[in-house]
Amino acid sequence: MWKWLHPYAKTERAYQLCITLQPWFWAGACICLVVGTVWGLAFAPQDYQQGDSFRIIYIHVPSAILSMGTYVAMAVAALVGMVWQWRTAYMTMIAMAPIGAVMTFVALFTGAAWGKPMWGAWWVWDARLTSELILLFLYVGVIALYGAFEDKQQAGKAAGVMALVGVVNIPIIHYSVEWWNTLHQGATISKFDNPSIAPEMLWPLLINLLGFALFIGAVTTIRLRNEIVLRELHRPWVQALAQQRLEKEA
Amino acid sequence: MLEACEITCIKRDRTLFEGISLSVDAGDLLYLRGPNGAGKTSLLRILTGLSAPDSGTVRFNSVDIAVNASAYLSNLVYLGHKSGTNGSLSAIDNLKFWLAQHSANADDDALYETLARIGLVGLEDVPVRYLSAGQQRRVALSRLWLKKASVWVLDEPFTALDTKGVALLEQFMKHHVENGGVVITTSHQALSEEAGRYRVFDLEYRF
Amino acid sequence: MSLYQGIFVRDMHIAFKQKAELVQPIMFLLMVVTLFPLGVSPSPDTLQRIGPGVLWIAAILSSLMAMERMFRDDFQDGTMEQYVLSGMSLAGISAVKVCAHWLVSFVPMLVLSPLLAMFLNLTFDMYVALIITLLLGTPLLSFIGAIAVGLTVGLQKGGVLLALLLIPVFIPLLIFATSAVDSAALQLPYYPQIAIIAAMLLLSAAIAPFAIAYSLKVSQN
């Protein structure tokens, strides 16, 4: 596998890979998101307790799951960068960070909006919402640390260390917050605990989850391309690329 | 003795230098020259192993220092822009601590004698912070006298030194080289005749 | 005297020559705690209820202030470069420096804690629990914090950034430590929380020195 992956440590090859992957990501994301969202919002049955307001899970749950997933992916990229000294790994990591942060924000926002009809308040210190908020802080930390360095190679390494520290902490944070929550709120029923979900509700959810994942992939490839071009502006291959583009436009 | 092969250094996404090779043997004084921003300090730091090159290797007696640096480090003195002395400790305390960390033995007499030779009589017990810039530089330079190392890597060693100090250091560099040592140095002023015979290595500024 | 011992002695020596830097975070802690009775309520019941949280939050905030100087001087004056070139293990050096730093910045906090406990009307049981959580929790702050300090030491404007990086990471410790003291207030056993904090401390003591060494190398580059 390494023989196959290793060429992508070179920025030029990684750039080409992004170009190849991007349309597939976009096509998959569009199809999945349209199918999943329309199915979920219009055709899936109503929840017997929550009525139509439960339908926000088709946005909330995928974004919440993928906000964590993106962070883990960042940590994996950081580890790859650290072990094999790939510059592109750090670039991928930092390309994903703002997307993950936005996903976290979407999860928080939809969670809060869902909480309004359910709890009568925009913000409740529910365990999962709190974990999600702390996750947002972790994202902010990584992005801020990356921004603080002028040498972006160094910045990538530093942000990578922080991403790894964060990923070790995510499970600890998650369980500690959950435990803290039960301690302080007693036995409130968490609306997120769905012991069983009807298959006709679950399918659109899964499709949307895949759609979100592909969407993140698509945006990551765009951001990674940008990052590569910005960082390698002085390299001949980037200049040749720019030249080509200019000629095409002329 | 010390050999750098195909060294590349990228800083802030700018290639400072690419594919540089150089080698120094016993009795060489290498004078590294180049405009500001050409990467002299970066090259020196790579040669000492303080920072890793983006590609290429540095070898000491044919051993890659990225793999095993222990033999190299015990034969190396590096003096950078930063003096490596703590301002609130005295010159003697700073040097004793440094010598212990570098497993170099020197008794108190040798310490005082060296400080006297380098022109710091009576200032041994004053916190380094209260010394002038040139005197602080002298404290840092006294390591060259105290640690028996064959390779000296000196980054702008003449900064803040007066003419007497410059002459003293140049003579000592010459002495070291004549006794089979190696000196790699950068400097904005050209080396004078006191320093003896030397080789020049030019680094160009790249865009 | 072993080499690492030498570093420890030197760090202590330097710390006691810079007394102002030692005292300031402690005064900060004292003042933050003073703000709560003024800002929330001076009633003994309220203070007892919020006391553990207030103390731990104040401890975390003042530790952030104290933490900055852990590697700063050595980094700026070039001592760190000479450490790297001394051939000693950078992880070992980091561990020693973290211990020295903990002794000079957190032990005064422990000494001050009876006074703070009195200010916040903690019972004796709560105070015992507080001391145990501080004893186990503050080294954890030092070890984890040192990683971020190592990363930000080369930056000009590291202060607020350090807090941004570390506060979310310290949240589990805050939760377990305050709940241990709360349990003590209710005469409940609190050893599970203590055990968890101890486990986190051991884990961080084992791994953090290597992470700190790596961060320092990144900053050095």
- Going from N- to C-terminal start, the domains of chain C cover 3-220
- CB-CB contact of C109 with C29 (8 Å): yes
Q: Which residue has the higher pLDDT, B69 or A28?
A: A28
pLDDT of residue A179: 87
* CB contact A105 to C (< 8 Å): no
- Distance between CA atoms of residues C54 and C120, nearest Å: 9
- CB-CB contact of A190 with A111 (8 Å): no
pTM: 0.91
Q: Do A149 and C155 lie within an 8 Å CB cutoff?
A: yes
Structure ipTM: 0.92
- Distance between CA atoms of residues A109 and A102, nearest Å: 10
pLDDT of residue C68: 86
- Whether residue B207 lies inside any domain: the answer is no
* CB contact C172 to A (< 8 Å): yes
- Going from N- to C-terminal start, the domains of chain A cover 21-45+52-187+205-249
Question: Is A5 a residue whose pLDDT tops 70?
Answer: no
| CA atoms within 13 A of residue C133's CA, in its CB half-sphere | 32
Question: Is A7 a residue whose pLDDT tops 80?
Answer: no
Question: A1-15, A179-193, B34-48, C116-130 — which is least confidently predicted?
Answer: A179-193
- Give the mean model confidence (pLDDT) for residues A159-178: 92
pLDDT of residue A93: 96
Condensed to tens digits (0 to 9), the pLDDT of residues A178-210 reads: 888 877 764 444 445 555 677 778 888 999 999
**Residue B66 belongs to what domain range?**
2-202
Q: Which residue has the higher pLDDT, C200 or A236?
A: C200
Q: Quick count: other Cβ atoms within 10 Å of Cβ C5?
A: 11
Out of A141, A157, A176, the one facing C165 most closely (by C-beta) is A141
Helix (H, G, I), strand (E, B) or coil at B7: strand
Residues of chain A with Cβ-Cβ distance to C168 below 8 Å are 134, 137-138, 141, 166, 169, 173
The percent of residues above 70 in pLDDT, for chain B, comes to: 100
CB contacts under 8 A, B 5-64 vs A, are 10-15
Strand-pairing partners, residue B8, are B55
- Distance between CA atoms of residues A36 and A26, nearest Å: 15
pLDDT grade for C198, boundaries at 50, 70 and 90: very high
Residues of chain B with Cβ-Cβ distance to C89 below 8 Å are none
- Helices marked H in chain C — which ranges? 3-17, 19-39, 44-67, 69-76, 79-85, 90-119, 124-152, 158-185, 191-220
Contacts of B91 (CB under 8 A, 6+ apart): B85, B115, B120, B123, B124, B125, B126, B128, B131, B139, B142
pLDDT of residue C211: 96
Most C-contacting residue of A173, A175, A176, A185 (CB-CB within 10 A), to test interface: A176
Query: What's the mean per-residue pLDDT of chain C?
Result: 92
- Distance between CA atoms of residues B144 and B158, nearest Å: 14
* CB contact A234 to B (< 8 Å): yes
Condensed to tens digits (0 to 9), the pLDDT of residues B52-75 reads: 888 889 999 999 998 888 889 999
Residues of chain B with Cβ-Cβ distance to A151 below 8 Å are 11-13
- Give the mean model confidence (pLDDT) for residues B15-41: 88
- Distance between CA atoms of residues B26 and B141, nearest Å: 21
| Kind and range of the H or E run holding B179 | none
- Give the mean model confidence (pLDDT) for residues B142-171: 90
pLDDT grade for A222, boundaries at 50, 70 and 90: very high
The percent of residues above 90 in pLDDT, for chain A, comes to: 54
pLDDT of residue A189: 45
Question: A2-16, B130-144, C18-32, C62-76 — which is least confidently predicted?
Answer: A2-16
The percent of residues above 70 in pLDDT, for chain A, comes to: 91
pLDDT of residue A187: 43
- CB-CB contact of B118 with B168 (8 Å): yes
- Distance between CA atoms of residues A227 and A222, nearest Å: 9
* CB contact B133 to C (< 8 Å): no
* CB contact C179 to A (< 8 Å): yes
Q: Output the domain CATH number for residue B176.
A: 3.40.50.300
Q: Quote the number of domains for chain B.
A: 1
Q: Do C152 and A173 lie within an 8 Å CB cutoff?
A: no
Q: Do B50 and C3 lie within an 8 Å CB cutoff?
A: no
Apex CA A127: angle with CA A123 and CA A133, to 5°? 60
Q: Do A234 and B13 lie within an 8 Å CB cutoff?
A: yes
